[in-house]
Structure 1
């Protein structure tokens, strides 16, 4: 969905491709400078758990039906057997 620009200034008024280019430059600069955050598997796991807890507390977490849970588990099992591919 696109919204009409209310201004021709600022990041939000740029087209999506230009935003991606600028964001990419920022990420590359942060990595080059050594200030970018890099998750290891443990910190990523902890962040995911925290996000899940907060979503449930706020009532915004997706509640899976038994059928959805079964499909997700099956998909994860197939990916696990394929070596994560």
Structure 2
């Protein structure tokens, strides 16, 4: 019995293992071609600062138990 809407095609119908396998192949292909993004230390620091500032701002909106 199929309880999903639609025909069960695409990533939504795949097992997590199958999705991981496909994503892994894509990442390996990008690295092999040299098109994968490589973080510089400056980019990584900037991303960390940006992510941290978002987390701190959102914490004031979180529900306290």
- The 2-side partners of 1:49 and 1:56 are apart by 11
Question: Relative to 1, partners in 2 of residues 1:46 and 1:38: Cα closer, same or farther, differing over 3 Å?
Answer: same
Structure 1, unaligned runs of 5 or more: 62-85
TM-score (norm 2): 0.69
- How large is the RMSD of aligned CA atoms in angstroms? 2.3
Count, aligned residues: 57
TM-score (norm 1): 0.55
Specify which structure has the bigger relative contact order, considering alpha-carbon pairs within 8 angstroms and separated by 6 or more residues. 2
CA shift for structure 1 position 28? 0.8
Preserved contact between residue 27 and residue 36 of structure 1 (Cα < 8 Å): yes
1:29 paired residue number: 29
CA shift for structure 1 position 22? 0.2
- The 2-side partners of 1:55 and 1:13 are apart by 32
Question: Relative to 1, partners in 2 of residues 1:15 and 1:41: Cα closer, same or farther, differing over 3 Å?
Answer: same
Question: Relative to 1, partners in 2 of residues 1:51 and 1:12: Cα closer, same or farther, differing over 3 Å?
Answer: same
Preserved contact between residue 5 and residue 13 of structure 1 (Cα < 8 Å): no
Runs of 4+ off more than 6 Å: none
